[in-house]
Amino acid sequence: MRINPIVEAALLANKPVVALESTIISHGMPYPDNVKTALECERIIKDLGCIAATIAIIEGELIIGLNESEIEYIANPKNTVVKVSRRDFPLVLARRQHGALTVSATMMACKMTNIKFFATGGIGGVHKGAESTFDISADLREFTQSEVTVFSAGAKSILDLEKTLEYLETMGVLVLGYKTDLFPAFYTRSSGIKLDYMVDEPKEIAMIILEKEKMNIKGGVLIANPIEEIYSYDKDEIDKVIEQAVEKMKVLGVKGKETTPFLLSEVAKITGNKSLFVNQQLVYNNCRLAAQTAKEYYELGDYNEKK
């Protein structure tokens, strides 16, 4: 493992750090939009007074806090970059490959380095038809194992959102809707599925996390942060597009870890890249909330220690 000196200094000084995943760079967006998005995410976090740490594997080395040239490297389609989930870590490291980390793998890396906050686009979840395929993302189980707060625009709308929430509830994972009591559906503000808990301010999220830590409750927290109204897709419109993409996926026989990248790419093609723009905006929105919460958390923590 190699930790960027700026990230390491922040962690040692108990300063706010926000992690960013790398699958969105290598598998989630086309080049060079992926580079632009990754750098903009880092800029947003830095401008709000936090340190950004984009995490990936390059030549078998887990890097916590990529520099700009490393972001460019994993973003370039000329380079073979493996999509890395929990199970893939030892294989990719042993083979000295390049790897882009999914939500679950990023949460693992955060736990290893004590990074408490992580901004992404949408988490993985239970795929449609999972009752027969058992296709459930490793992201969900990771919430029971890594003490990280993840900021996400819900789960990707290509998934079975009702079953995804049910799984998280069954596993005892706290899901908080930010200024909403309805679970967001990635491209759209609402899936129509009711959430049990809603929070209104970053400071309240920070207080909840601090109380969770005091009680030594294991696992992560999911902050469901809906895309801003101005960028939100009409639900019926995007549902039709997703249905069309899913049908094509079935015809082509795309399965496993290639499912999400294929569907995101296909949705972008059908919408004339409008979905790509929306994807970028929702990620930026999550970066802002993650950075605001991280600052509140460390300010509250410092205050409590001084008391």
**Total tally of structural domains belonging to the chain:** 1
Taking the model in full, what pTM does it have? Answer: 0.93
Q: What sign for the dihedral angle of Cα 79, 250, 137, 39?
A: positive
Q: How many CB atoms lie within 10 A of CB 83?
A: 21
Residues with a catalytic annotation lie at 21, 156
For 257, residues 6+ apart whose C-beta sits below 8 A from its C-beta are: 83, 85
pLDDT string in tens for the chain (307-residue length):
999 999 999 999 999 999 999 999 999 899 999 999 999 999 999 999 999 999 999 999 999 999 999 999 999 999 999 999 999 999 999 999 999 999 999 999 999 999 999 999 999 999 777 777 778 899 999 999 999 999 999 997 778 899 999 999 999 999 999 999 999 999 999 999 999 999 999 999 999 999 999 999 999 999 999 999 999 998 889 889 988 988 898 899 887 777 777 888 898 899 988 889 999 999 999 999 999 999 999 999 764 554 4
Q: Give me the helix-helix angle, 259-270 and 235-252, nearest 10°.
A: 130
CATH for 65: 3.40.1790.10
Range of the domain at 248: 2-306
